[in-house]
Structure 1
Amino acid sequence: MSRHAFSSAERRAVYRAIAERRDMRRFVPNSTVGEDVLARLLRAAHAAPSVGLMQPWRFIRITDPRLRKQIHSLVDEERLRTARALGPRGEEFLALKVEGILECAELFVVALGDGREAHVFGRRTLPQMDLASVSCAIQNMWLAARAEGLGMGWVSIFEPASLAELLGIPEGAEPVAILCLGPVPEFPDRPALELDDWAHARPLAEFVSENRWRPVALGWGHG
């Protein structure tokens, strides 16, 4: 084992946070999150890796109740459009709870910052690495939230231009996530979409191959 490895207890804690992270939609009403905890979560997000150290993430904390309701309305409008686009599964989709915007203790909008075209390192052929970097920041925050005993849900059902206009996000920047954060009644042992029978996760072996693009059953992910 590497001399840089964490202790056994520390490793178990890291892997536990990864395994028990869930995309949460149900929150304890009228709950709060301490400012010290929020600071830790945002520091965890800001510690994420980013291509070329561009740090493209921008976090907007929503504290205005009226603005929260307007964001919820934008999401609800897109929820109906998504249902229509799903055709035969539309009614099934509408029965799902897909967000907790009005119930969560804290609400954040995460955006890609403007001026990203100036960052060429690592993005000349893969410009989408700015979004990959923001995703790493969100995942850091998600895992830190789980370690703090808080739930978090990533809402992507919205029209970016409408949300950008509502929040005064400048041209060149783009909202990519609405994050619902706060205490939750429980952490389910499986993803919500599995519990709702919408979709089911597939085993790791189906996603790993060696040397070329082809499925190779390595036996991982079945234990």
Structure 2
Amino acid sequence: MAKPFSDPERAAVYRAIYERRDMRHFTREPVDPALLQRLLDAAHHGPSVGYMQPWRIARITDPVLRGALHAAVERERLHTADALGKRRDEFMKLKVEGMLECGELLVVALMDGREKHVFGRRTLPEMDLASVACAIQNMWLAARAEGIGLGWVSLFDAGEVAALLRMPTGAKPVAILCVGHVAEFYDEPMLETERWATRLPLVDCIFENHWPDANAAADSGSADD
């Protein structure tokens, strides 16, 4: 039988999971290059379907390019606000990124030529995206363990960002990651604090064997009233 981690080691893993936050507030303190390398290596050790390793990560060191990426996100932020209708003003009050303040800015993308990888993707081609998400989660948990904040920005036009980074045909940006030092981590997800949404009860997300019949559940609830 495989030996589990020690009690303190297990506690540290679960602490990183439960205290990980999508950070939007950063200090301007630089990130140590060796620490950044550890985070990138953690991402590169993420699981991937068919071992295709579809992640590609661009470190943005050009201030002009960082500004252009920020402008692209700001344009999409306004479009998103307009699409939200009644929640527009509520959304506009949210801080959704820290791109100009964070110590490091990374763009994570899907590789080009992904059609060559069939293993695990013949009927579920989106598993390449799932693999990239696993790499980002690895980095996120490692960052929390290192006391470094990470925020995932997804408000952008993929084609515009791809053009700014001169990506080859077929490559696609998935996330802009703000990485850097923070004064403190949020006590709870910021969108909960801002009352945008709340975490679903676990029981509502787990079921056995078959998808629950919503109509039957509603009928059952009415009968109990």
Do the two structures share a fold, i.e. TM-score over 0.5?
yes
Q: Does 1:4 align with 2:3?
A: yes
Please point out which of 152, 157, 160 is paired with 1:159.
157
1:197 is matched by which residue type in structure 2? R
Aligned to 1:42: 40
Amino acid at match of 2:8: A
- Counterpart of 1:59 in structure 2 is 57
Counterparts of 2:128 and 2:107 in 1: how far apart (Å)? 16
Give the letter aligned to residue 70 of structure 2.
H
CA-atom RMSD in angstroms: 0.9
- Find the counterpart in structure 2 of residue 172 from structure 1: 170
Kindly state the Cα deviation for residue 91 of structure 1 after the two structures are TM-superposed: 1.1
Larger Rg: 2
Structure 2 equivalent of residue 20 of structure 1: 19
- Shift of the alpha carbon at 1:189? 1.6
1:68: how far off? 0.6
Distance in 2 (CA, whole Å) between partners of 1:60 and 1:144 is: 18
Is 1:146–2:112 an aligned residue pair? no
Whole-Å Cα distance in 1 between the matches of residues 80 and 113 of structure 2? 31
Q: Deviations over 1:166-211 (max 9, x none)?
A: 1101110000100000011111121000011111111111100001
In structure 2, give the amino acid aligned to 1:214: P
Code of the residue aligned with 1:15 in structure 2: it is Y
In structure 1, runs of 5+ residues without a counterpart are 216-223
Question: What letter corresponds to residue 3 of structure 2 in structure 1?
Answer: H
Scaled by the length of structure 1, the TM-score of the pair is: 0.94
| SS at 2:68 equivalent | helix
Question: Given residue 6 of structure 1, which amino acid in structure 2 is its aligned partner?
Answer: F
The one of 194, 206, 212 aligned to 2:210: 212
- How many Å separate the matches in 1 of 2:13 and 2:133? 18
Aligned counterparts of 1:191 and 1:214: Cα–Cα separation in 2: 28
**C-alpha distance in 1 between matches for 2:42 and 2:57:** 12
Q: What secondary structure is seen at the aligned counterpart in 2 of 1:103?
A: coil
Alignment partners' CA distance in 2, 1:49 and 1:15 = 19
Residue 189 of structure 2 is aligned to residue 191 of structure 1: yes
**Structure (1/2) with the larger helix percentage:** 2
CA distance in 2, matches of 1:189, 1:95: 19
* Cα separation, 1, equivalents of 2:169 and 2:194: 38
In 2, the alpha carbon distance for the partners of 1:93 and 1:185 equals 24
Post-superposition Cα deviations, 1:25-73, rounded to whole Å, max 9, x if no partner, equal 0001x21111110111011000000000000000000011111111000
**Counterpart residue type for residue 188 of structure 2:** R
- Once residues 4 and 123 of structure 1 are traced to their aligned partners in structure 2, the CA distance between those partners, rounded to angstroms, is 33
Aligned residues: 213
Q: Which consecutive unaligned segments of at least 5 residues does structure 2 have? A: 214-225
Q: Distance in 2 between matches of 1:200 and 1:190?
A: 10
Query: Which segments of structure 1 move beyond 2 Å, counting only runs of 4 or more?
Result: none
Q: Distance in 1 between matches of 2:97 and 2:66?
A: 12
> Using the alignment, how far apart are the partners of 1:6 and 1:93 within structure 2?
42
